[in-house]
Copies of this chain bind each other. A is one copy, B any other.
Amino acid sequence: MPPLNVSELVDRAREGQPRAVAKLISLVEDASPRLREVAAALTPHTGNARVIGLTGPPGVGKSTSTSMLLSALRKEGKRVGVLAIDPSSPFSGGALLGDRIRMTEHATDPGVYIRSMATRGHLGGLSWATPQAVRVLDAAGFDYVLIETVGVGQSEVDVVKLADTTVVLLAPGMGDGIQAAKAGVLEIADVFVVNKSDRDGAEVVVRDLKQLISFARREIRGESWRQPIVRTVASREEGAGELVAALNEHHDWLAAHGELARRREHRAASEVEAIALRRLRAELEDLHGGGHLSGLARQVVERQLDPYAAADALLDSLRPGQ
């Protein structure tokens, strides 16, 4: 492997070369020791991308909706990066692969970059890699970064919280799930999309959502942002213009209320905290690899040590000065 020239790589990514972008994100996923250099080279170029999270229960049409949004933004001449969060769960890998294939229509467009982020593996996973991948795309000059998640695990929800604007997708005919979904998503949704809105039951979903929104506004939200409900049929690209308009409106609201800066600070704080935590974790892993942790674990199993005393011993070896 030739030696890595970080500043050249960043330059090429900024010129729009997808292989350079891919290489930078791989450095993030692989937790490369060169990331420190990469981050320093990227940071001066960041702060321009709008970050949109898209989430919702399985089967709601997330990838089709992401694809529709992507097409609409491309028609406006925007460059768009997509991070598709693949939880690498034993139970979803295949389905997501299918979704990715549906997105191949964008694969040859130089203004588009699509990446599946693997969450499997240890050391912080998604919460560590995603904000840094957003930073790569931001610095590479993408106008929008779309983060699409399957929206079932806590880690996926956390990732959505990294966005400037979070879009929650629902659809008619989801059975019992819809009730549960509606109750919980209010806190994270900035914009609601009712996809498959040509199907029976779509108006019931919209009506229930409206009730819930007005109830929640009275009960828990003092803010002035009114979560809009956009009806779409993503498979036919219907409602794309309305969705883009809703996103623009929310962006303007964020900017006017100082909320954009607050959300971006929150994202940066998550990123910094994840980097710090990962380093501490890596130090613990070194101890693990060195057999110290497994020796302590054996003593816990044999009831010679309780787990807190073992954790003390582990931390003492991590921080010999204290």
A residues contacting B by CB (< 8 A) are: 35-36, 39-40, 42-44, 46-47, 56-58, 87-95, 97-98, 119-120, 125, 131-132, 135, 150-157, 168, 176-177, 179-181, 183-185, 187-188, 261, 264-266, 268-269, 271-273, 275-277, 279-281, 284, 288, 293-294, 296-298, 300-301, 303, 305-311, 314-315, 318-319, 321-322
Ordered by A's residue number, 17 sampled pairs between the chains whose C-beta atoms are within 8 Å are: A36-B308, A40-B309, A89-B154, A90-B184, A90-B188, A91-B151, A91-B152, A91-B180, A91-B185, A92-B177, A93-B184, A94-B181, A153-B155, A153-B156, A268-B300, A269-B294, A273-B311
- Whether the Cβ atoms of B272 and A296 lie closer than 8 Å is yes
- Whether the Cβ atoms of B303 and A44 lie closer than 8 Å is yes
CB neighbours (8 Å) of A154 from chain B are 87-89, 119-120, 125, 153, 155
Could you tell me the dominant secondary structure of chain A's interface residues? helix
CB neighbours (8 Å) of A306 from chain B are 36, 39-40, 42-43
- Whether the Cβ atoms of A46 and B91 lie closer than 8 Å is no
Known contacts A266-B297, A272-B296; can you find 6 more A-B pairs with CB under 8 A? A89-B157, A94-B183, A269-B297, A271-B307, A272-B314, A280-B280
CB neighbours (8 Å) of A131 from chain B are 307
Contact of A272 among B93, B271, B310 (CB under 8 A): B310
CB neighbours (8 Å) of A284 from chain B are 273, 276-277
CB neighbours (8 Å) of A275 from chain B are 307-308, 310-311
CB neighbours (8 Å) of A300 from chain B are 43, 268, 271-272
CB distance from A213 to the nearest CB of B (A): 14
CB neighbours (8 Å) of A151 from chain B are 89-91
Contact of A301 among B47, B95, B303 (CB under 8 A): B47
CB neighbours (8 Å) of A135 from chain B are 307
Number of identical protomers: 2
Closest to A293 in B: B269
CB neighbours (8 Å) of A301 from chain B are 47, 261, 264-265, 268
Residue among A42, A276, A309, A318 having the largest count of chain B Cβ atoms under 10 Å: A276
A273/B294 contact (C-beta < 8 A), A120-B154, A307-B135 known: no
CB distance from A160 to the nearest CB of B (A): 10
CB neighbours (8 Å) of A120 from chain B are 154
